[in-house]
Amino acid sequence: MTPHQHLRILLERRVPGYSLEADFYHAQSILDIELKAVFEREWVLAGSSSEIPESGDYLTTMIGQTGIIVVHTEDGTLRAFQNSCRHRGSVICLESKGHANKLVCPYHQWTYALDGELLHAAEMPKNFDRDQYSLIAVNIELMAGMIYVCLANDPPDFSGFRREVEPYIAPHQPARCKVAFETSEIENANWKLVVENNRECYHCAGSHPELTYSLTAFAMPDDPRADTFFSELMPRKAKDWDKLGLPHVAVPGGQEFRCIRLPFINDALSMTLDGSLACRKLLGDFEDPDLGSVRMFRVPNNWNHFSSDYVLHATVNPISPDKTLLTTKWLVHEDAVEGWDYDVEHLTAVWKATNRQDATLAQNNHKGTRAAGYRTGPYAESEFMLVDFTNWYAAKMASYLTQQETSQIHLTSVSS
């Protein structure tokens, strides 16, 4: 049985609304396909434009095992490239952030312009055609300062996402932010379990005392579990936000993205231990600190929170079937002064604790699905976003298989 046949069988017997079979979480052959079917085809958050404000500034990130460079070019646009020299493949930019007038490979000093063109390669034969050896370009989209990149030759449509989501994000002006803190953590769990963990708050009451001080466990304004307090709060805040021109109702993102503004509880103004602001300098041009937060997710691997005072970006990247890198960034207003406007400990305490708790949960989830008797289990009602995620994922994987089979058949008919 080939890896594709194996995956096809698993996809065909999958029951929507139930967790995935164990092989989805543990098989290297499935991760190998996911890298091609999901990670090399989707829009992935690479960072914020505010991280590379000047011409020559660059940042690097990973999509699966593929290094990405995003660079601020001389004409002010951002461009993205694969971080692999066209000579013998060395990584070119070694740091997560930096500044360079040219991109010079540290191995043999092949030198590229910021637009990816190969400018210089020593000791090459006469007939060497430099034009054939530009850096491999990567698709890039900028949405209110958030940089999305996509490795596909034919990337999926981005415009619907932008149209729906940008109005929620733009007032927070992420392009005028700076990264105040950043963490990279490796969790011993499959990347999908890390995403699934993030897509439901069914576990919040039992695990996240810090987070649930400000955040409601439920994800929709009309959740039947809402208490009197929330039922009174929601329409009042909605009216305030309408007045401020801040959209708040859930966007129609289908299975691919989600965006909604919800109020905090406990009179909290921000996701901090006591609900007080994390940063006195508010984002953008805000004057009202009581904006709840915009919660935004997009497949395959990115979630975000935007409150009046800070932005939280999180992305996951698979390292192996049982190891996942979680990168988290806390952004505040670019003019906010550390120690005066914000304190890093106060800013990061809730999500540091939440990440730590989630890592434990995901790891125990991962471990338990290795039991011989593990069977897929039914999602709870409040796990509706996991139903969406697994359905989206399964469709994406199935469509990849079909495409591969079709191209095989095509090749066969050409050659016969």
Q: Which residues bind its own copies (CB under 8 A)?
A: 19, 22, 35-36, 40, 63-67, 82-92, 94, 106-109, 121-125, 128, 133, 136, 151, 196, 202-203, 206-207, 225, 361, 364-365, 367-375, 377-383
Query: Between residues 152 and 395, which has the closer beta carbon with respect to its own copies?
Result: 152
At residue 271, the 3 state secondary structure works out as: coil
Please tell me what DSSP assigns to residue 279: B
The answer to whether the beta carbons of residues 317 and 191 sit under 8 Å apart is yes
Query: Between residues 104 and 250, which has the closer beta carbon with respect to its own copies?
Result: 104
Q: How many CB atoms lie within 10 A of CB 117?
A: 14
Query: Between residues 87 and 280, which has the closer beta carbon with respect to its own copies?
Result: 87
The CB-of-345 to its own copies minimum distance in angstroms stands at 27
Give the contacts of 171 (CB within 8 A, at least 6 positions apart): 245, 246, 284, 285, 286
DSSP lists the bridge partners of residue 79 as 71
Burial of 277 (0-12, 13-18, 19+ CB in 10 A): buried
At residue 305, the 3 state secondary structure works out as: strand
Amino acid at 203: H
At residue 86, the 3 state secondary structure works out as: coil
**What distance in Å separates the CA atoms of residue 272 and residue 354, rounded to the nearest whole number?**
11
The CB-of-88 to its own copies minimum distance in angstroms stands at 5
CA proximity to 14, closest of 375, 402, 408: 375
Query: Between residues 49 and 317, which has the closer beta carbon with respect to its own copies?
Result: 317
CA proximity to 404, closest of 37, 150, 42, 40: 37
Preceding omega of 318 cis (within 30 degrees of 0): no
Query: Between residues 51 and 358, which has the closer beta carbon with respect to its own copies?
Result: 358
Backbone angles phi, psi at 188, to 5 degrees: -85, 65
The CB-of-109 to its own copies minimum distance in angstroms stands at 5
Query: Between residues 122 and 285, which has the closer beta carbon with respect to its own copies?
Result: 122
Query: Between residues 308 and 382, which has the closer beta carbon with respect to its own copies?
Result: 382
Percent of the chain that is helix, strand, coil (3-state, to 5): 35, 25, 40
The CB-of-234 to its own copies minimum distance in angstroms stands at 20
The answer to whether the beta carbons of residues 291 and 263 sit under 8 Å apart is no
Query: Between residues 235 and 378, which has the closer beta carbon with respect to its own copies?
Result: 378
Query: Between residues 55 and 66, which has the closer beta carbon with respect to its own copies?
Result: 66
Query: Between residues 372 and 414, which has the closer beta carbon with respect to its own copies?
Result: 372
What token pair was written down for 330?
Answer: 């806390």
The CB-of-132 to its own copies minimum distance in angstroms stands at 9
The answer to whether the beta carbons of residues 313 and 48 sit under 8 Å apart is yes
Question: If you write DSSP's letter for every residue of 147-203 in order, what string do you get?
Answer: EEEE--SSPPP-HHHHHHHHHHHGGG-GGGEEEEEEEEEEESS-HHHHHHHHT--TT
The CB-of-103 to its own copies minimum distance in angstroms stands at 13
